[in-house]
Amino acid sequence: MSQVMKWVEITIRTTEEASDAITEMLAQIGADGIACTDPYEFRNTIENDPLSYCDDGTIESYGEDVIIKAYFAELDGGYFRMGPKSEEFVDPNGVGMIYGNITNKTMTVDEAIAYIKTRLTEIGEFLDIGTGFDGFSYVKDEDWANNWKKYYTAFKISDRVAVCPSWIDPATIDSEYKIILDPGSAFGTGTHETTSMCAEILDKYMPAGSDVLDLGTGSGILAIIARLLGAGKIEAVDIDSLAVRVAEDNCRINGCEDIDCYTGELKSVKRSDYDVIVANIIADIIAEIACDVPARLKSGGLFICSGIVNTKADRVEKALALAGLDILASEEKNDWRAYICRKP
């Protein structure tokens, strides 16, 4: 069996407009980690979050480009694999088919870079991608982990919950609840609007004692927030087994080992009587699974969905209505939207 020798770090300089599409593309082709430094998001956080701090000149040093770094594990012989892990849950009859367009083979660095450039060109046909590909380098495991620390600080994700990296003393953070969460791969640290809207909605709408399903859990952040806010039984599910392992680690670090993390999708979850289902995924998948949501909710149960870019909001609203779900409210941040729905 091949062993991971080092990480290839691929750098892409792009625009805020194209950053989400490029991040999604990199995740789809099998990046083992993605770090996105968005100067616009960073400025907004510093200016509006009283918990955030940075040294003089830091904001200016970020410039105008969104910098995306994608990490691929290089195996023996100079190859790294592009595509889903062999142990991933992939159901061709369910939402697992989102991975259907991924190459499932190993490539040399040169082949992989050529492939990424091709995918960037395809995105560039619809969006201004800016500079695009901006080189690659090799990094060691410890260097990869430490590089994140320059760009990640404590921040408040909802009225009562703050996210705090492990190298910051939680006692210095003024918040009722604190999540210890280190960015280690591309599964969500809470800085994106879609995640923060879900956190705020859970804080505002979730009744204490609710049994919760976190669908597409990623890092496990929303499942952990639900636990801190007093949820009952919690399941954290993702089609990516690597994400599930990350979620399990984060649950353990935060003393939430009772959260049931496992690989799967909506059609394979364990129950049909959740009080709350939260899905921070993407609009197309939400529209696809909406019809199956009511069968997994109690009467009066809540479906919280996010990851919906404004241009696809109409499609999601129609799918929710066809599923018989009542939209109670919606939240919006920048170009993103989230919905709070109830099963009659």
pLDDT in tens, 164-206: 887 888 888 888 899 988 654 445 666 678 888 999 999 999 9
Is 156 among the domain residues?
no
Is 107 among the domain residues?
yes
Tell me the two tokens of residue 318. Answer: 């129609």
Q: Are residues 213 and 93 in the same domain?
A: no
Is 204 among the domain residues?
yes
Which amino acid, residue 3?
Q
Angle, to 10 degrees, between the axis of helix 241-253 and the axis of helix 221-228? 30
Q: Are residues 236 and 92 in the same domain?
A: no
Q: Are residues 138 and 16 in the same domain?
A: yes
Mean pLDDT: which of 43-52, 92-101, 292-301 is highest? 292-301
pLDDT band at 98 (very low <50, low <70, confident <90, very high): very low
pLDDT digits (tens, 9 = 90+) for 106-133: 788 888 899 999 999 999 988 899 999 9
Q: Are residues 327 and 198 in the same domain?
A: yes
Share of the chain above pLDDT 90, in %: 43
pLDDT of the residue at 100: 36
Consecutive H or E run containing 200 = helix 193-205
Domain residues for the domain of 189 are 183-342
Q: Are residues 129 and 204 in the same domain?
A: no
Dist. CA 250–CA 247, nearest whole Å: 5
In this structure, how many other beta carbons lie within 10 angstroms of the beta carbon of residue 217?
32
pLDDT of the residue at 294: 97
pLDDT score of 52 more than 60: no
pLDDT band at 76 (very low <50, low <70, confident <90, very high): low
Q: Are residues 211 and 139 in the same domain?
A: no
pLDDT of the residue at 143: 61
Give the residue from 124, 149, 174 where a domain finishes: 149
Burial of residue 246, with CB atoms counted within 10 A of its CB: 0-12 exposed, 13-18 middle, 19 or more buried: buried
Dist. CA 13–CA 30, nearest whole Å: 19
pLDDT of the residue at 146: 62
Is 286 among the domain residues?
yes
Is 161 among the domain residues?
no
How crowded is the C-beta side of 6, counted as CA atoms within 13 Å? Answer: 12
Is 154 among the domain residues?
no
pLDDT of the residue at 234: 98
Q: Is residue 14 a contact partner of residue 65, using CB atoms and an 8 Å limit?
A: yes
Is 208 among the domain residues?
yes
Which amino acid, residue 180?
I
pLDDT band at 344 (very low <50, low <70, confident <90, very high): very high
- Averaged pLDDT of the chain: 81
Give the residue from 149, 175, 207 where a domain finishes: 149
Q: What's the mean pLDDT in 223-237?
A: 96
Q: Is residue 179 a contact partner of residue 193, using CB atoms and an 8 Å limit?
A: no
pLDDT of the residue at 183: 55
Q: What is the CATH number of the domain that holds 332?
A: 3.40.50.150
Question: Cα–Cα distances in Å, from 242 out to 41, 88, 171, 175, 237?
Answer: 27, 8, 31, 30, 11
Q: Are residues 143 and 190 in the same domain?
A: no
Q: Are residues 142 and 198 in the same domain?
A: no
How many domains, the chain?
Answer: 2
Is 134 among the domain residues?
yes
Quick one: which of 136, 154, 142 has its CA closest to 70? Answer: 136
Q: Beta strand pairing status for 6-14 and 66-74?
A: antiparallel
